[in-house]
Structure 1
């Protein structure tokens, strides 16, 4: 005995050394599922069980879908997921496989879950085997006990249907599960109808299979003589056990069902919290009558379906509310802009998770600004931003921030001031959210664009030839954070938007991809824009289509601004001079700059008038304000060549023109300005103003 014991203990630890032949002899195939790589390796016997040739299978689990019916796959996925979540070491299940000839065969699988030291599942190894004969024998034994067989079968119906419905998020998902051919097979029914109660009527939302629709039943009153109306009225299921009973009870409906060879039917009210939300009918062509247990099972099934429908209806209602809130926070319409083509787009996140994450804080806006030349396009502010988070709170903060930023810009504040004030506003909201933002103020008559950035991604600039580049814009902290840390300085970057060029502003949802850094994403986006269509609307559609194809859990906002080339004034030169108060040399330098600029640009005939008016405006700014003046001279080309002079100061008080006979001397210089210029005006610029005037000048000879 001692010798035999020692011999037994001396067996090698890895015995048997070659398990595959042993499995094959027992009719089993093996698999090794690498959860990290997502690959499902099978041996030759497993290929035979799934009726797959080696060249037909690429190692991916989803490639087994032609052999595993959808309902079976859903049930297996739920089983494996539950075993992994519960910390189980193994699982086992029977399921059906559709062979190459269309026949359904039972198969059994057993898997062992291998985890690493942290408990994280890494691999699943196991076996599959043909269980058709085994279950056939089991069915034969069950025939000896009809009651037990019915109980198991009906319970399985509820389990399979409930497992499939657990993945349904919308009403259409519920319908798809129940209308699926395998779903009807599980229910044991030939045909299915379902309707929802709406305003005292029943609206049909599902009927199957195709060709079973009864004319006139798409919308029916609850008091009409139909079985679904009856169960909604009475809140009691209706079981019809024979064709004669059906014909006698519902003579209006029965003639339309005779071609379906219906022998019995079960109509179930769908009740939630003692209130009917709809009704469902299951029609059978191979049975007569229902046992008490079968009736109880079907009533329980109806209750489960009602709960799923109610959950789906709530989800769709909340989604409509969330999407409505998002759309209400975004601009209802983008104003037309003379001299530019504009396209805006928004794509909501599609997370597939909780509803709240389907709404975000991304926004765009286009703001008409005072000043500029209306015939050449005027001035506009383009905004793109993203409030932290994906929920209704983020959307609400976004709406408030968009409104105040638009108000600050429309008041005429400089871009840096607009951004700083918006940051202070967000900080004072006492919310835990911050926001990134990019604001571009464009003068479409000159092409000058001033850009400020608050933690946002850089803009892109596309040329008429299709080339596209990233514009590096120095920036400050995100809105809210800069106010909290007391760093409200936002540097301003100036760029020229020539005719035919397109400025692209977007949120990071269009750029960031899993496993890719921001710089690579920006380069990929620039390549995509360069290869896109010339029309800004078509280009915007193309970019959003790509975002849809890529998916992702972030929303996307996009704004494209293309400056038109035909008939649009074009800046051919611009000079600027800063004149400090009490600095005669700066004033003299400004006069020399104006004189030299006017003559070099071919406006010698009007040089004296332009110099006199510019001198008057600069002098007024220095005399009547406490700060410095900024003189800007631009040459514009369009249908008529013009020269524009702008004088900015820090006073918000508007100049007043005095007429002859009024007391005082101040203000009469504006009479001279009005007399000598072709057009002039005043516009707000943040805390100050800008007095501008234009002169028509002949073209160069």
Structure 2
């Protein structure tokens, strides 16, 4: 609730600050001191923090905990004379804050120290070593004192002030389990983790039933998380400009918390918000600014359904709380931003959409890992090849991180480049393995590369350490290739083994990465069986191969979602990225393919032109006759002049008209620059001018020169 009242009294003396609920089981002192040092260093952006305790020898202070400093830097601070000039000694003697613009024996430029309070006086000191020479501001000093008092509650010789008496206080007293909150905030990774920690660790001890966490973005307050408010109320306060006169903006400008113990008290200061107060259903508020690294980053509002009195201790406790939350939230938001950039990078390296091709209908799902702070290197792709063929690819760069995601992009780009050269799968993976090996000895990747030819219905594939595809057939049977994968890219030595499968007229190919089928609780074989079962159920439920009413892309998307939900029901707990690629194959109708053998003599071009005229007339493509005759004549003439043996002409009618000329020569035809006086050498230039695209692919028995022409739309 954006409410405000006059500032509360100053933060009470740290010796009277109670930050730990008396309970039988609590964190060990060493753990508490470590957490206190980490929180203190984070609060001031320091290079490290130290905690000293008064030793059994009253003339010395002993270093008990530290963070951020190496052994050489710590040597100076291990034991300090209690009557010395070091900041911890001065803080213990005076019981006050100490600031020095030096960092004795360390790279620090400043030293900020507060005493650890005890019932009979300071029992130690908390010190933060800063990079700057500017003294901490008021909020930072208050936070350090709150952390120091909390840490002091864990010392054996200095129980928290007033702990004996608190056992007899009423059960309704607002006691915050600060140790649990500190641990939860220290473990929080994302902004939502911080919000959950506040909701679970702050609201119950205070008896609060409402919470708002708002953050500053572009000079406006945006709701990061909430509890106990209606959607209509949240919509009304979302995006409030910082220039608006509300409680949240007021405490952010003043950088100090404010409390309203009743609606009347609140409306006394903000009468223009009467409608919002009634809509909120709350009658008391603690409005806490979130200050991190000396700047406001947002606001935390704890609210109550009934009027509530806040005593000095509760106000101090909530002030300390705001410092803890602010530091955790700033760290979490940095993670959120970095993680979002990494995931955007990774998603940008994946296909934005899958191509619509005559040979297949496809859909895919990619899910990043739900746990951990790194992105992965999983990828997938579908690549159009010549002759209506299509390549299906799934791969995984081993490891997690920005470097792995970037390497995935390089590998995927290399696959597309090599595929455009129409290299066979085994040769393509050999080049790819050389590429990965060139990244360094620690780089490996798995990859499955498969080519599907809709004319022959042949699936040709190679796999480098990657899960094999599953083939679901219309009759309900499932085929699993019984082959052993070659080692991963970067580790394998060519040649890669090539495998072939003859598919029915229609089939569903399923490709995945190990993140979908393998986890700590199941091996990859068990996971592949679960994948097979899940896809089979999804196909049966939709009567997939027999149902014609539902469009294939829509059905495939639904199957993808169903399978991902079944195999990864709780994606927030997954530790690896996961890819699922479904491809429904289609065969080319026999009427759309025409093949002709040609003689090995000058008559071949004339016969090829006659075949073109007859076939195009049969296909009602007479408007392409002249251009196709000229194109085919040049291709066949080139073979007759430069390649031994007979050749073959094949015409394919698809989205384009594809002309293919096969011969027995492995020589690559190249366009050359013909001079004005040359009588030849312009054949391939003419082919390039007449076709949409053209190229060469190599076969075991020779090569195929192909060219595509656009089919006019009637």
- TM-score w.r.t. length of structure 2: 0.59
Residue 85 (structure 1) shift: 9.9
* Conserved 8 A contact 2:510-2:583: yes
1:220-246 deviation digits (Å, cap 9, x = unpaired): 232333221111011122234565543
Match for residue 355 of structure 1? 373
Judge which range, 526-535 or 253-262, deviates more.
253-262
> Compared with structure 1, are the counterparts of its residues 513 and 633 closer, same or farther at alpha carbon in structure 2 (3 Å cutoff)?
farther
Match for residue 562 of structure 1? 584
Are 1:422 and 2:432 counterparts?
yes
Q: Highest CA radius of gyration, 1 or 2?
A: 1
- Give 3-state SS (helix, strand or coil) of 2:482's partner: coil
> Compared with structure 1, are the counterparts of its residues 287 and 619 closer, same or farther at alpha carbon in structure 2 (3 Å cutoff)?
closer
Match for residue 218 of structure 2? 199
- Give 3-state SS (helix, strand or coil) of 1:543's partner: helix
Counterparts of 1:568-647 in structure 2 under 5 Å? Answer: 624=642, 646-647=662-663
Residue 304 (structure 1) shift: 1.4
1:457 to 467, 477, 482: 467
1:42-84 deviation digits (Å, cap 9, x = unpaired): xxxxxxxxxxxxxxxxxxxxxxxxxxxxxxxxx99x9799799
> Compared with structure 1, are the counterparts of its residues 690 and 159 closer, same or farther at alpha carbon in structure 2 (3 Å cutoff)?
same
- Runs of 5+ in structure 1 lacking a partner? 1-74, 87-141, 373-377, 577-586, 588-613, 672-678, 695-701
> Compared with structure 1, are the counterparts of its residues 168 and 539 closer, same or farther at alpha carbon in structure 2 (3 Å cutoff)?
same
Match for residue 303 of structure 1? 323
- Give 3-state SS (helix, strand or coil) of 1:389's partner: strand
- Report the Cα distance in structure 2 between the residues aligned to 1:560 and 1:262, rounded to whole angstroms: 52
- Runs of 5+ in structure 2 lacking a partner? 1-20, 33-161, 545-554, 601-631, 709-714
- Report the Cα distance in structure 2 between the residues aligned to 1:346 and 1:261, rounded to whole angstroms: 43
Are 1:493 and 2:476 counterparts?
no
Judge which range, 245-254 or 436-445, deviates more.
245-254
> Compared with structure 1, are the counterparts of its residues 456 and 632 closer, same or farther at alpha carbon in structure 2 (3 Å cutoff)?
farther
* Conserved 8 A contact 2:220-2:242: yes
Are 1:653 and 2:631 counterparts?
no
- Report the Cα distance in structure 1 between the residues aligned to 2:287 and 2:530, rounded to whole angstroms: 57
Judge which range, 528-537 or 380-389, deviates more.
528-537
Judge which range, 538-547 or 269-278, deviates more.
538-547
Are 1:339 and 2:336 counterparts?
no
* Conserved 8 A contact 1:454-1:475: yes
Match for residue 125 of structure 1? none
- Report the Cα distance in structure 1 between the residues aligned to 2:169 and 2:527, rounded to whole angstroms: 60
- Give 3-state SS (helix, strand or coil) of 1:306's partner: helix
* Conserved 8 A contact 1:511-1:521: yes
> Compared with structure 1, are the counterparts of its residues 274 and 449 closer, same or farther at alpha carbon in structure 2 (3 Å cutoff)?
same
- Report the Cα distance in structure 1 between the residues aligned to 2:31 and 2:506, rounded to whole angstroms: 57
Residue 307 (structure 1) shift: 2.2
- Report the Cα distance in structure 2 between the residues aligned to 1:632 and 1:493, rounded to whole angstroms: 26
1:478-506 deviation digits (Å, cap 9, x = unpaired): 21223xxxx22122223223321222222
- Report the Cα distance in structure 2 between the residues aligned to 1:477 and 1:417, rounded to whole angstroms: 15
Are 1:469 and 2:479 counterparts?
yes
* Conserved 8 A contact 1:345-1:557: yes
- Give 3-state SS (helix, strand or coil) of 1:202's partner: strand
- Give 3-state SS (helix, strand or coil) of 1:387's partner: strand
> Compared with structure 1, are the counterparts of its residues 80 and 207 closer, same or farther at alpha carbon in structure 2 (3 Å cutoff)?
closer
2:704 to 690, 697, 700: 690
* Conserved 8 A contact 2:287-2:302: yes
* Conserved 8 A contact 1:367-1:380: yes
- Report the Cα distance in structure 2 between the residues aligned to 1:82 and 1:529, rounded to whole angstroms: 51
Counterparts of 1:126-145 in structure 2 under 5 Å? Answer: none
Match for residue 553 of structure 1? 575
Are 1:186 and 2:205 counterparts?
yes
Match for residue 312 of structure 1? 332
Match for residue 149 of structure 2? none
Match for residue 365 of structure 1? 381
* Conserved 8 A contact 2:359-2:390: no
- TM-score w.r.t. length of structure 1: 0.60
- Give 3-state SS (helix, strand or coil) of 2:321's partner: helix
* Conserved 8 A contact 1:618-1:629: no
Aligned CA RMSD, in angstroms, stands at 5.1
Judge which range, 537-546 or 385-394, deviates more.
537-546
Counterparts of 1:52-451 in structure 2 under 5 Å? Answer: 149=169, 156-163=176-183, 165=185, 168-179=188-199, 183-189=202-208, 191-210=210-229, 213=233, 216-240=236-260, 245-254=265-274, 256-257=276-277, 264-284=284-304, 289-350=309-370, 352=371, 354-356=372-374, 359-370=375-386, 372=387, 378-430=388-440, 432-451=442-461
- Report the Cα distance in structure 1 between the residues aligned to 2:516 and 2:235, rounded to whole angstroms: 48
Bigger relative contact order, structure 1 or 2 (CA pairs below 8 A, ≥6 apart):
2
> Compared with structure 1, are the counterparts of its residues 282 and 462 closer, same or farther at alpha carbon in structure 2 (3 Å cutoff)?
closer
Are 1:528 and 2:558 counterparts?
no
> Compared with structure 1, are the counterparts of its residues 569 and 456 closer, same or farther at alpha carbon in structure 2 (3 Å cutoff)?
farther
- Report the Cα distance in structure 1 between the residues aligned to 2:499 and 2:281, rounded to whole angstroms: 78
- Give 3-state SS (helix, strand or coil) of 2:289's partner: strand
> Compared with structure 1, are the counterparts of its residues 79 and 321 closer, same or farther at alpha carbon in structure 2 (3 Å cutoff)?
farther
Judge which range, 451-460 or 257-266, deviates more.
257-266
> Compared with structure 1, are the counterparts of its residues 622 and 436 closer, same or farther at alpha carbon in structure 2 (3 Å cutoff)?
farther
* Conserved 8 A contact 2:233-2:280: no
Residue 408 (structure 1) shift: 0.9
- Give 3-state SS (helix, strand or coil) of 2:251's partner: helix
Match for residue 593 of structure 1? none
1:131-187 deviation digits (Å, cap 9, x = unpaired): xxxxxxxxxxx999589959996553534544555554433344345456x853312
Residue 399 (structure 1) shift: 0.5
> Compared with structure 1, are the counterparts of its residues 685 and 226 closer, same or farther at alpha carbon in structure 2 (3 Å cutoff)?
same
> Compared with structure 1, are the counterparts of its residues 422 and 276 closer, same or farther at alpha carbon in structure 2 (3 Å cutoff)?
same
* Conserved 8 A contact 2:531-2:567: no
1:196-219 deviation digits (Å, cap 9, x = unpaired): 222222224455434594884333
* Conserved 8 A contact 1:446-1:571: no
